[in-house]
Structure 1
C-alpha cells in the first residue's frame, strides 16, 4: 500500500506525466514519456496509468469539488451564523456570481472556486487516457490480458472524466483520438453520454471484478467501477432524453443486477462505518485515495477541500477553539430523512442523536470521522473520498426499476439498503415509492457528492417540494444548473460557446 501511495505522491509533487495545454484540448507528455525510449515495458505503462488516476485526484481535490458541486448547491444546508462562512449561502442558493465575484477572497482562494469554472484538468485526463489506450497495445512485454486491462482502464478513466464534465458543464467537446489538436464545438450531453456508454460497454468485461491486493480495491478500476459509471451515465441520459428513457432504465436495472449478483462486493455492517469510509472495502466501487499517514497534508494543499471540514467540530476536529460546525441542515429536511421515533441505525451511527435536529453549529455528520492527528493539530479525517459506493448503485437500480413500473422489484432492491440500517422496509407503490427512493439516496449518500446531481437529472431541482432553492424552468433551460465556463475555454477554439445563463 505504501509503495502504491508513494507512486501517487511522486507523480503529484514533481513528476506529473503531462504538461499544460498549449493548444485547445492538446496535452503533450514531457519528452521522457512520449519519445521512443518510453512505452518499452510494463513499468512504463503502469507509471503512465497512475498518472491518469492522479490527474483525477488532482481534479477533485485541488478545489472543494465534491462538497461544492455535489452536496451544497441548491441544498437545505444552512450557514451557521457568526462564523463568516458566506460562501455556504452563496452555493446553497445557487448564487455563483457572488461566489466567483471576488477571486481574491480568503475562502475563494482556499477552496479554489474559480478552478471549478475551468475544464482543462478534465481534458488532460481524457487526452492521457486516449494516449494510454493506443500505446498500451504496442508494448511487446505485456500479455494480451494485460493489454486489455490497461486499455479498459483507459476507457474507464476517460468516461469518468466525461461524466464529471457533463454533470458540471452540460454540453462539452468530445473526442477519443490520441494527441488531439482539432478545435471542437460542444457536443450535446446526451450524445456524449451515449458515446461513453458504448465505449465503456465494449471493454468493461476486461476489468477484474476485484484485486487480490487489498490496497488496490476501489482505488483502481474494477468491473463494478465500470458498471457503476455506466449506471450513472444511463441515468443522466434518461434525465435529458425522455423519448429513450426506457432503454436507459433497462440498462441500469441490468447493470445493478450484475453488481449485486457478484460476491466481490457487499454491504458492511454500520458498526464498521469507519472501515467503510476509510476505504478499500467490499462496499467500495471506486474512490479517491487520501492518507494523513503518508504526509499528504504536509503542504496543506488538500487540507480543507472536503465536505468533512464543514460538518465537524471539537472533539471530532482536534482543535478546542472550533466549537461549531460551519453548516447544519434545515430541520424539516432532517426530520424528513429521520422521523422521530422511527428506527434507523444511521441516525445513531452517523449522527449524535442529541444534536441530530439541532438548528445551530452543534449539528454534526459523523459518518466520515477517522482522525489520526495530535490534539491541537488542525487536520481533518483522512477517509478516502467515495466516488461510487455499493449503496449508490443499489439505489440507482431501485430507481430504474420504479421508473420501469416494477414496484415489487424496486421495493426489494431499496429494502436491501434499509435492512442494513435496520430501518423498516418500504411498502409504498407508485409516486410514494419513487419518493422513498429519492429520500433514501439523500439519507444514505449525504456528504458523498450526489445530492445536487440527483436534483438535476431527475428535474426535481425545478420543484420546491424536493428542492429548497429551486431553479425556474426558463433558467434551467438557459443553463442555470450548470457551472459557469471560464473564458480560457475560448483560447484557440472559435467553436466553443460559454454557458449563456452566467454571462
Structure 2
C-alpha cells in the first residue's frame, strides 16, 4: 500500500477529456511536486479521470467483476475447471483468467491515493474559469470514487487499511470494516449535494459519479453494514429507504422496457437505467475478454472453437427455483437460449450480455455495471420489508420490477415470504452483474444449501471464509497487515 501512496503523489493522469477513450488514457507527471500541474479546471478533470483509470485497470486485470456470481457456485463449469475453485472456496488455487490478481489490492489503493490528492489539491487551483461550485463538484466526485473503492474492497477483503491523507505514507493496520464504511457514509453525506445530478455530455452518463450514484452507493453501504451490525439494523434499513427515495425523486432514472431488441442497450451501458458503471464500451475504445459473456455464449453469436458449446451454463435446479416453469417472465424468454439443455448439456446460452461487435475476436459492448435503477428499487423493497411496518410499499417496489419483466405480480403478505421474494427477484434481475455472493453474505443466507452450491457455516463466516485472501506482496509491503484467520496456511 505504501508504494501506491508514493506513486499517488506522482499519479497517472489523462491526456485529455475530449472523449471517453481519452478520459481513460494515462500519462505520468514529469515532476514529483506537480508544480506545473494543478493550474486549471482541465488539470482537475484529468486528475479525476486518473482515479477512474486505476479502478478500470483493476477490473480489467481478470475476471474480478463476475466472482460475485461465480463464488455462489450455481453454474456447471464444463470447460472452466478453474472456476470450480471459486465455487468450492479454494481461492488460493484460483488462477484462471487472472483471478490470482484479485488478492492484490495495490491498484485499489492507487485509485484511493489519486482521489486523496484530488481532494487536497483541487480547492487551491487558481483558474478564473473554475468556479467554486465546479471545484466542490469535482472534490465530491473524488470522495465518491474513494468511497466506492473502499466499499468494493471491504466486500472482497473485509477489514482494510484506511488512508485518507494524500501525503501520509504511514503504514497502517487493517481497520475494522464497519469503521471504514462509517467513514465513507459520513464523507458522502457531507458532499453528495455538491455532486452534479447529470452531465450535459451524454458520453459521461453513468460512467462518472453523480448525486444519484452517491445515493446508490450509500444505500448499498447501509445494507452491507446491516448484515454485520445486527444491533443497528433498523437504522441502516431506515437510511436505505430515505436515500433511495431521494434518488427516485431526482427523476433521472427509469426502468426501460424489456424487448428482444432493447434490453441489450441497458447492458451496453450509459442507458437511462444506469446509475454507476465503468466504461468498457467498444464504441469508446474499450475491449476486455474476462466477462461472463465470454463463457456463456457460443456460435453463431461468437466464434467458440467448442463445436457450438458454452463453457459454463446455469444449473437447472437454480433456474427452476427463481423461474418456476410455466410462469411468464421476459427475462427467461430474452436472456436464455435452450435454458434446460434440451439440445445438449453445453447448448444453453445466457444472452444478457450479447451485444457482440465482432464474433470472431469475441468483442462486445458491455460496461461494468455496478448500480442501476432496478437494483436500487429492489434494495429499497428489501429495506422496507425488513422494517416490517411498510409492507405495502415494499410490495409496490418489488412489483415495479416484476411488472417490467412481465412476471407474475406478488400478492402475498409481509415477513419471510416477502423477504424471500425480493431476494429471488434480485437474483433473477441482477444475474451476471456480480451481486449474488454479496447478497447471500449480507442477508445471512449464505448457509442455505438451496440457494448456493458453496454454503458457509457461521464458524466459517467468523473465520473470514467469505473474503478473499490478501496477497503476499501486500503483507510484505505492510507488515502491520494481518491475514484473515481462514486464509492463514
**Could you say whether these structures have the same fold, taking a TM-score greater than 0.5 normalized by the shorter chain as the test?**
yes
Contact between 2:21 and 2:286, CA under 8 Å: does it hold in 1?
Answer: no
Structure 1 equivalent of residue 449 of structure 2? 464
2:394 is aligned with 1:410: yes
Label 1:178 to 1:282 Cα distance change in 2 as closer, same or farther (>3 A). same
Label 1:320 to 1:186 Cα distance change in 2 as closer, same or farther (>3 A). closer
Structure 1 equivalent of residue 318 of structure 2? 333
Structure 2 equivalent of residue 4 of structure 1? 19
Label 1:98 to 1:494 Cα distance change in 2 as closer, same or farther (>3 A). closer
Equivalent residue runs for 1:40-119 within 5 Å: 40-68=39-67, 70-80=68-78, 83=79, 85-100=80-95, 108=96, 111-119=97-105
Contact between 1:239 and 1:245, CA under 8 Å: does it hold in 2?
Answer: yes
Structure 1 equivalent of residue 12 of structure 2? none
Aligned residue for 1:112, secondary structure, equals helix
2:192 is aligned with 1:208: no
Structure 1 equivalent of residue 294 of structure 2? 309
Shift of 1:99: 2.0
Aligned residue for 1:266, secondary structure, equals coil
Contact between 1:117 and 1:485, CA under 8 Å: does it hold in 2?
Answer: yes
Aligned residue for 1:10, secondary structure, equals coil
Equivalent residue runs for 1:330-409 within 5 Å: 330-352=315-337, 354-356=338-340, 360-373=345-358, 377-405=360-388, 406-409=390-393
2:108 is aligned with 1:122: yes
Mapped to 2, the partners of 1:361 and 1:260 lie a distance apart of 41
Mapped to 2, the partners of 1:72 and 1:244 lie a distance apart of 30
2:152 is aligned with 1:164: yes
Shift of 1:9: 4.6
Mapped to 2, the partners of 1:6 and 1:32 lie a distance apart of 25
Mapped to 2, the partners of 1:424 and 1:472 lie a distance apart of 34
Aligned residue for 1:355, secondary structure, equals coil
Contact between 2:74 and 2:314, CA under 8 Å: does it hold in 1?
Answer: yes
Structure 2 equivalent of residue 105 of structure 1? none
Aligned residue for 1:161, secondary structure, equals helix
Please list every run of 5 or more consecutive structure 2 residues that lacks an aligned counterpart in the other structure.
Answer: 1-15
Contact between 1:130 and 1:154, CA under 8 Å: does it hold in 2?
Answer: yes
Mapped to 2, the partners of 1:489 and 1:75 lie a distance apart of 28
After superposition, give the CA deviation of every residue in 1:86-121 in whole Å (9 maximum; x if it has no partner). Answer: 112111122213325xxxxxxx3xx21221011111
Structure 1 equivalent of residue 5 of structure 2? none
Structure 2 equivalent of residue 275 of structure 1? 265
2:161 is aligned with 1:137: no
Q: Give the stretch that moved more between structures: 226-235 or 355-364.
A: 355-364
Q: Give the stretch that moved more between structures: 356-365 or 260-269.
A: 356-365
User: What TM-score, normalized by structure 1, do the two folds share?
Assistant: 0.89
Structure 2 equivalent of residue 424 of structure 1? 408
2:169 is aligned with 1:181: yes
Structure 1 equivalent of residue 8 of structure 2? none
Aligned residue for 2:452, secondary structure, equals coil
Contact between 1:356 and 1:364, CA under 8 Å: does it hold in 2?
Answer: no
Structure 2 equivalent of residue 146 of structure 1? 134
Contact between 1:462 and 1:471, CA under 8 Å: does it hold in 2?
Answer: yes
Shift of 1:321: 4.6
Which residue of the other structure, out of 204, 218, 237, is the alignment partner of 2:206?
218
Shift of 1:266: 0.6
The alignment of Structure 1 onto Structure 2 pairs a total of residues equal to: 466
Contact between 1:165 and 1:172, CA under 8 Å: does it hold in 2?
Answer: yes
After superposition, give the CA deviation of every residue in 1:253-289 in whole Å (9 maximum; x if it has no partner). Answer: 1111112222211111012212111111110001111
Contact between 2:23 and 2:46, CA under 8 Å: does it hold in 1?
Answer: no
Label 1:293 to 1:413 Cα distance change in 2 as closer, same or farther (>3 A). closer
Equivalent residue runs for 1:1-40 within 5 Å: 3-11=18-26, 15=27, 17=28, 30-32=29-31, 34-40=33-39
Label 1:490 to 1:339 Cα distance change in 2 as closer, same or farther (>3 A). same
Aligned residue for 1:461, secondary structure, equals coil
Shift of 1:2: 9.4
Shift of 1:494: 3.0
